[in-house]
């Protein structure tokens, strides 16, 4: 059980779910970081202790940070919605008992979602991105534009320019992330179970800089041009490092997907466009 730590309601719901899971014959563990807020034993260390299933209680941020902490460990995740943004979470808070019952009965589907890996020299390896890898203008130069070249290295080693971006940056997203930052920047909406890479320029000043969809085996290379200001690398909204003019990074399909357990029919596009009705 991995609850959103700064939400008293999510913590209270977590305790209810722990008690219900135990009553149904399961062996529930609480994320050790939450033990100071919830009186429960046993606990586990997220990212090092192996468990069969992880249940997140919170919004999209809770899900993303949980996956980041897991790193290369792939554990199926149940997503219970309790936050301001819960697009990735499909279980309403009042349906937690239904989810637990269906888990025990095997009445669920396991969805595998493609992630991205940012390859760059940093002291610590960047986490895999479920939503996007974004290279954006540094806050120190917010009034200035960045100058980036986006290249594609194909399987045969052929390198071609995809797009030049003079603007606020570029977003490289997964299909799941197509409805997140990339969508806000004018990128296309993709079915989340597809395996593609979406490149979306961020506030470009050129009409020629348009979103591009690439096959999953592409290596996307982002170069910071010599005449640019420094930029910053973000993975799912988490700041990773700065890149100076002349530096570059690569983005490829991550070797391991995220596995999410779904209990209900996912009306994906209905959820995407529900606010337009």
**Which backbone phi and psi does 233 adopt, to 5 degrees?**
-100, 130
Same domain flag for 262 and 249 = no
- What local confidence, expressed as pLDDT, does residue 165 receive? 95
Same domain flag for 102 and 170 = no
- What local confidence, expressed as pLDDT, does residue 79 receive? 96
Same domain flag for 12 and 130 = no
Q: Which of 42, 216, 19 is nearest to 112 (CA)?
A: 216
Same domain flag for 90 and 143 = no
Q: What is the DSSP string of 60-75?
A: HHHHHHHHHHHTT---
Q: Report d(CA 107, CA 212) in Å as an integer.
A: 38
Same domain flag for 17 and 72 = yes
Helix (H, G, I), strand (E, B) or coil at 30: strand
**Per the structure block, which two tokens stand in for 253?**
């399909």
What's the structural domain count of the chain? 2
Whether 60 is catalytic = yes
Q: Report d(CA 199, CA 246) in Å as an integer.
A: 20
CATH number of the CATH domain containing 207: 2.60.200.30
Same domain flag for 246 and 264 = no
Same domain flag for 218 and 246 = yes
- What local confidence, expressed as pLDDT, does residue 199 receive? 98
Same domain flag for 131 and 169 = yes
Same domain flag for 125 and 241 = yes
Same domain flag for 183 and 139 = yes
Using the structure block, give the residue that is written with the tokens 């200001």: 229
* SS3 letters across 99-115: HHHHHHHCCCEEEEECC
Q: b/e string for 200-215 if b means 16 or more Cβ within 10 A?
A: bbbebeeeebebbbbe
**Per the structure block, which two tokens stand in for 103?**
């888990």
This prediction has a pTM of 0.93
- What local confidence, expressed as pLDDT, does residue 122 receive? 87
> What sign results for the dihedral spanned by CA atoms 258, 263, 266, 272?
negative
Q: Report d(CA 136, CA 228) in Å as an integer.
A: 11
> What sign results for the dihedral spanned by CA atoms 211, 205, 126, 154?
positive
**∠34-37-41 over CA atoms, to 5°?**
65
CATH number of the CATH domain containing 84: 3.40.50.10330
- What local confidence, expressed as pLDDT, does residue 107 receive? 96
In the set 6, 31, 49, 60, the catalytic residue is: 60
Same domain flag for 244 and 271 = no
Question: What range does the domain containing 60 cover?
Answer: 2-114+257-276
Q: pLDDT tens digits for the chain (277 residues)?
A: 999 999 999 999 999 999 999 999 999 999 999 999 999 999 999 999 999 999 999 999 999 999 999 999 999 999 999 866 667 888 999 999 999 999 999 999 999 999 999 999 888 899 999 999 999 998 887 778 899 999 998 777 789 999 999 999 999 999 999 999 999 999 999 999 999 999 999 999 988 889 999 999 999 999 999 989 899 999 999 999 999 999 999 999 999 999 999 998 766 777 677 655 5
Per the CB < 8 A criterion, the answer to whether 177 and 132 are in contact is yes
Same domain flag for 157 and 32 = no
């Amino acid at each position: 059980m991995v609850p959103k730590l700064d939400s008293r309601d999510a913590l209270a719901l977590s305790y209810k779910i722990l008690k219900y899971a135990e009553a149904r014959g399961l062996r529930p563990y609480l994320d050790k970081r939450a033990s100071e807020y919830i009186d429960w034993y046993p606990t586990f260390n997220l990212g090092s202790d192996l468990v069969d299933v992880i249940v997140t209680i919170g919004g999209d941020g809770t899900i993303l940070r949980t996956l980041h902490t897991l790193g290369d460990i792939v554990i199926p995740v149940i997503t219970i919605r309790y936050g301001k943004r819960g697009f990735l979470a499909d279980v309403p808070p009042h349906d937690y008992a239904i989810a637990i019952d269906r888990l025990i009965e095997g009445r669920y589907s396991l969805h595998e979602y493609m992630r991205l890996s940012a390859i760059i020299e940093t002291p610590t390896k960047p986490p895999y991105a479920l939503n996007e890898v974004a290279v954006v203008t540094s806050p120190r130069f917010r009034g200035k534009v960045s100058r980036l070249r986006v290249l594609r290295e194909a399987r045969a080693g052929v390198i071609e320019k995809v797009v030049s971006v003079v603007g606020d940056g570029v977003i490289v997203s997964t299909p799941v992330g197509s409805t997140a930052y990339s969508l806000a920047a004018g990128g296309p909406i993709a079915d989340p179970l597809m395996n593609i890479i979406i490149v979306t320029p961020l506030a470009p000043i050129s009409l020629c800089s348009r979103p591009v969809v690439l096959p999953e085996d592409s290596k996307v290379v982002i170069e910071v041009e010599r005449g640019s200001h420094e930029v910053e690398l973000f993975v799912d909204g988490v700041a990773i490092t700065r890149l100076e003019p002349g530096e570059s990074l690569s983005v490829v399909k991550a070797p391991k997907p995220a596995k999410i357990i779904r209990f209900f029919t996912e009306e994906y596009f209905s959820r995407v466009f529900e606010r337009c009705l």
